[in-house]
């Protein structure tokens, strides 16, 4: 269901941005506005980005095989990172370049009224797409602030669209102000300044998106609440003497790899250990549907500490995630 909901958000953004991009492109060609041109490039880049996200979602659903035994869930992280690069290189780069060119060679905007109509039209469609993405994102963020929820989210297909649409709304506002002031004050240089500001907004969104998707690409642990729930399951098992370590890593937005090290009570036969291990796996999966693969290592505390001493002392930090 989550994947279907994500696609709805992306399709809504793609359709809205396509219509907006065409309108902005026509407006830029008529008015000669640098800010309008930057906004048109921004929207066309967003259309391409949303197509890449849809492609990434489709690729991520492929089943595991011999070469990729844990599946292809991380493909969505890779394509979201590509989106960040495109926003920075194309959207931000072209906007800043165009703005600098307009500042150096200012020309008055022709038919400013057309710009206002197109930008107002774009705000309506962009606002509708933003609202769809915001509602989808808010349904999973709980009581976290928006920025904290983006940093904690494991699903870039939603927060990427939300960041893009937020940057787009702010960019539209700046474009309208820049064109209005440039036309009213007879200072066409302000149109170029607006384009540069739009470029900086896109650069900021791209950097934030790149940071978050990079963390997911290299392997990010599950939320602390999930780790604590796994510990509760393990702590309730009478067969377990001590929980040594709980490690987790997202293989995809809804695919968590869990690896735990526990010390079983002395005197348990091998068959009993196997039975308890199977029961623990079932309990974790029933309480945490995203825990697709669970590995339980039976290890004495002394052996665990010795292994950590050999391989470094990072386990304490990892166990806090």
For every residue of 135-146, DSSP letters joined together read: HHHHHHHTTS-H
Domain stops at, among 169, 200, 218: 218
Note whether 33 and 116 are same-domain residues.
yes
CATH number of the CATH domain containing 244 = 3.30.70.1350
Helix count and strand count (H, E) for the chain: 12, 3
> For tokens 């900086």, what's the residue?
200
CB 243 within 8 A of CB 262: yes
| Euclidean distance between CA atoms 14 and 119, whole angstroms | 18
Note whether 206 and 238 are same-domain residues.
no
CB 243 within 8 A of CB 235: yes
Note whether 201 and 236 are same-domain residues.
no
Using DSSP, state whether 157 is helix, strand or coil. helix
| CB neighbour list of residue 67: distance below 8 Å, 6 or more residues apart | none
Note whether 110 and 140 are same-domain residues.
yes
| CB neighbour list of residue 317: distance below 8 Å, 6 or more residues apart | none
Taken in order 134, 135, 137, 143, the sign of the CA dihedral is positive
CB 63 within 8 A of CB 140: no
Residue 89: give the domain boundaries.
2-218
Q: For helices 75-86 and 156-184, what crossing angle results, to 10°?
A: 10
Question: CA dist 2 to 212, 227, 291, Å?
Answer: 20, 22, 15
Q: Could you tell me the pLDDT band of residue 100, with boundaries at 50, 70 and 90?
A: very high
Note whether 190 and 115 are same-domain residues.
yes
| Euclidean distance between CA atoms 189 and 158, whole angstroms | 36
CB 43 within 8 A of CB 20: yes
The 10s digit of each residue's pLDDT in 150-187 is 888 888 888 888 888 899 899 999 999 999 999 899 89
CATH number of the CATH domain containing 189 = 1.20.1510.10
Structure tokens at 306: 């010795």
Domain stops at, among 218, 246, 274: 218
Per-residue pLDDT, 306: 78
Note whether 166 and 122 are same-domain residues.
yes
| CB neighbour list of residue 111: distance below 8 Å, 6 or more residues apart | 30, 31
Note whether 258 and 125 are same-domain residues.
no
| Euclidean distance between CA atoms 193 and 118, whole angstroms | 20
CB 150 within 8 A of CB 159: yes
Split into its structural domains, the chain has a count of: 2
Q: Residue 274 CB: number of other CB atoms within 10 A?
A: 12
| Euclidean distance between CA atoms 138 and 146, whole angstroms | 8
Note whether 54 and 181 are same-domain residues.
yes
The 10s digit of each residue's pLDDT in 186-241 is 898 999 999 999 999 999 999 999 998 998 999 899 999 999 999 999 999 989 99
Domain stops at, among 180, 195, 218: 218
Per-residue pLDDT, 115: 87
CB 117 within 8 A of CB 124: no
Note whether 169 and 241 are same-domain residues.
no
Note whether 186 and 290 are same-domain residues.
no
Note whether 155 and 62 are same-domain residues.
yes
Q: How many residues appear in the chain? A: 321
Question: CA dist 273 to 230, 265, 284, 295, 300, Å?
Answer: 18, 9, 16, 14, 14
Task: Report whether pLDDT(279) > 50.
Answer: yes
Note whether 295 and 149 are same-domain residues.
no
Per-residue pLDDT, 319: 46
Q: Could you tell me the pLDDT band of residue 317, with boundaries at 50, 70 and 90?
A: very low
């Amino acid at each position: 269901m989550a994947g279907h909901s994500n696609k709805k958000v992306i399709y809504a953004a793609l359709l809205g941005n396509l219509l907006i991009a065409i309108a902005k492109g026509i407006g830029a060609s008529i008015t000669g506005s640098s800010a309008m041109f930057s906004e048109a490039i921004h929207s066309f880049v967003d259309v391409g980005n949303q197509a890449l996200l849809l492609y990434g979602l489709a690729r991520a659903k492929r089943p595991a095989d011999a070469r990729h035994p844990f599946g292809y869930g991380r493909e969505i992280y890779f394509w979201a990172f590509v989106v960040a690069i495109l926003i920075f290189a194309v959207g931000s780069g072209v906007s800043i370049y165009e703005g600098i060119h307009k500042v150096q060679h200012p020309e008055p905007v022709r038919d400013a009224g057309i710009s206002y109509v197109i930008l107002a039209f774009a705000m309506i469609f962009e606002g509708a797409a933003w609202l769809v993405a915001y509602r989808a994102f808010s349904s999973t963020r709980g009581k976290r602030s928006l920025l904290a929820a983006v940093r904690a989210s494991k699903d870039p297909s939603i927060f990427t669209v939300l960041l893009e649409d937020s940057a787009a709304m702010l960019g539209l506002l700046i474009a309208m102000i820049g064109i209005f002031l440039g036309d009213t004050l007879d200072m066409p240089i302000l149109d170029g300044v607006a384009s540069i500001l739009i470029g900086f907004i896109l650069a900021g969104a791209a950097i934030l998106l790149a940071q978050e998707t990079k963390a997911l690409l290299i392997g990010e642990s599950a939320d602390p609440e999930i780790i604590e729930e796994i510990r509760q399951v393990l702590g309730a098992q009478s067969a377990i003497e001590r929980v040594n370590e709980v490690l987790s890593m997202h293989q995809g937005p809804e695919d968590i790899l869990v690896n735990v090290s526990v010390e079983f009570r002395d005197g348990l036969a091998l068959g009993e250990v196997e039975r308890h291990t199977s029961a623990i796996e079932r309990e974790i999966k029933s309480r945490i549907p995203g825990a697709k693969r669970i590995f339980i290592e039976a290890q004495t505390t002394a052996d665990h500490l010795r292994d950590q001493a050999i391989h470094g002392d990072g386990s304490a930090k990892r166990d806090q995630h």
